[in-house]
Structure 1
């Protein structure tokens, strides 16, 4: 049965990859004065290249804050090219790094976490040449991307997943934006979780090591959480548990519930409220004026 399930996953994966090749995505639009650097290689693992698209704020305004954006897709689908909604950040002077990472078809857990950490470390190492402020890095994602944003930021100076990109002593982010992310992989009853964990799907110590809930510390960065309470994909309780853990450890956070909200499917007016709340949260932290 297990082999049959894996075979079905692989057939679906091949079909998805073919669809990805022919899919057309909107180009990211940005204000006058911004510049773009597309498909910048931030890491290499074997034959795989980790790439990011950079949208950089005008240099004359000095080093800018930056948002690292991580797409979702259950660790088995999605692409950076599908992500285009950065206008709220551009309007507030942020640069954006929109990243790709290894899906499970390429490598199972913890590969995606390793890649996110490498992207973060790349930006810290190259902050000066990219004209970004390493003390004002925000990491953000939705669903599986929310999980990866949490892992990337909450790990801090824990280097256990940094073996592909060593060399930075102080790895930190100024804030994490978690949109309906998975916080405890073991409690996420999904075939995607089983596939991503692979041969370690029953290894409780490993599962905890890749679950954001277990990375929260007293000195963790501030976290903004948003989740619809009718989410059929990632249970709302996952965010409730994270909120409780952050409160227990005294970590600054804001939890925004979207009543009746499904998995990232919020009404337009609620999406506007969420975007405003995120910007207000970051402004309150002093990340932008």
Structure 2
């Protein structure tokens, strides 16, 4: 099986949304149980889909003998963060534990349910962290690459002028609100926050599409949280903010973050790290010099950045081990 041709299976259907996960397998099978790693795409909870992840990262996981699942989830804002993306990814974990993954695996492969880890980039990092709390069986380890956390920090209400400068001037509210008319709620968009498209080519958003325009106007105006999750019923964001849900039983967690990140400031991840340390959680963090947000999509294998971010995957390996025969 090539990286460009994964197995795709349906893991959830709700209100007309068919939600799938891509499945990548290590090359050798030994009829033993394999660790499972869930790789969650980024996109500010509003953009992207499962083919918009770093294939070199997927390949690194396969070379360690891990089964890799790359799921889709419903995209905000027609569903909110808690009831949409977070619930979908948690339902994927429940789907695995219920034995459904084993039913779709080829002969010779089975999942080690004691060795499930999760990682993700940007919003995907947040969703990976959400598998460490408010779930019956948390994952064994988590890696967050510049994940969005600490939602009450003023940074989340700060306009981003460098994003605003790229917006066209003729985006009306009626046009932008067309994103709420999409039915069923989509699980994919044409472009990710990292600039990838379905073909893998890097380019900017298409502002003729309400979803692209809506997402980037909210990012530019400092209104992402307002768009994806109402704080009226949860003013302190306690149900969705990983920082507020770390406790002594939280899974071992590693963080990788670019030091030049202007979209999710590195200080937010430092707050998460400090909370993990206070609670006695096995943890660590790699700060990558000079890297902006979404660097995982553009890094070169073998570069300094590649080796630094790989420290997060080494951490996962120390917790869940390699697959049999690797």
Higher helix share: 1
Runs of 5+ consecutive residues of structure 1 not aligned to the other structure: 1-26, 31-35, 158-170
Mapping for residues 195-210 of structure 1, pairs under 5 Å: 195-197=227-229, 200-205=230-235, 207-210=237-240
In structure 2, relative to structure 1, the CA distance for the partners of 1:156 and 1:108 (3 Å cut) is closer
Q: Quick check: 244-253 or 208-217, which moved more?
A: 208-217
* 1:54 partner SS: strand
Match of 2:15 in 1: 46
Tell me whether 1:285 sits opposite 2:311 in the alignment: no
Of residues 138, 142, 149, the one that matches 1:172 is: 138
Q: Quick check: 274-283 or 231-240, which moved more?
A: 274-283
**2: distance between equivalents of 1:249 and 1:241?**
13
Is the 1:42–1:51 Cα contact (8 Å) retained in structure 2?
Answer: yes
Match of 2:278 in 1: 248
**1: distance between equivalents of 2:77 and 2:239?**
21
**2: distance between equivalents of 1:216 and 1:156?**
13
Q: Quick check: 178-187 or 121-130, which moved more?
A: 121-130
**2: distance between equivalents of 1:153 and 1:94?**
20
Is the 1:88–1:275 Cα contact (8 Å) retained in structure 2?
Answer: no
Is the 1:75–1:192 Cα contact (8 Å) retained in structure 2?
Answer: no
Q: Show CA shifts across 1:210-246 (max 9, x none).
A: 1111111101110010111211101111100100000
**1: distance between equivalents of 2:309 and 2:269?**
18
Q: Show CA shifts across 1:234-259 (max 9, x none).
A: 11111001000000000000111012
* 1:81 partner SS: coil
Tell me whether 1:216 sits opposite 2:216 in the alignment: no
Shift of 1:107: 1.2
* 2:116 partner SS: strand
**2: distance between equivalents of 1:134 and 1:231?**
35
Q: Show CA shifts across 1:36-60 (max 9, x none).
A: 421x111121111211011133442
**2: distance between equivalents of 1:264 and 1:124?**
31
Tell me whether 1:55 sits opposite 2:87 in the alignment: no
Is the 1:150–1:178 Cα contact (8 Å) retained in structure 2?
Answer: yes
**1: distance between equivalents of 2:272 and 2:119?**
16
**2: distance between equivalents of 1:82 and 1:259?**
24
Match of 2:98 in 1: 125
**2: distance between equivalents of 1:241 and 1:45?**
35
* 1:63 partner SS: strand
Is the 2:37–2:66 Cα contact (8 Å) retained in structure 1?
Answer: yes
Is the 1:63–1:132 Cα contact (8 Å) retained in structure 2?
Answer: yes
- Structure number with greater CO (CA < 8 Å, separation at least 6) is 2
What is the number of equivalent residue pairs in this alignment? Answer: 242
Shift of 1:128: 4.0
Tell me whether 1:186 sits opposite 2:152 in the alignment: yes
Runs of 5+ consecutive residues of structure 2 not aligned to the other structure: 158-221
User: Which TM-score applies when normalising by structure 1?
Assistant: 0.77
Shift of 1:96: 0.6
In structure 2, relative to structure 1, the CA distance for the partners of 1:286 and 1:53 (3 Å cut) is closer
Of residues 45, 70, 73, the one that matches 2:43 is: 73
Match of 1:232 in 2: 262
Match of 1:138 in 2: 117
Mapping for residues 242-281 of structure 1, pairs under 5 Å: 242-265=272-295, 268=300, 269-281=303-315
Tell me whether 1:28 sits opposite 2:7 in the alignment: no
Tell me whether 1:116 sits opposite 2:89 in the alignment: yes
- The root-mean-square deviation of aligned C-alpha atoms, in Å, is 2.0
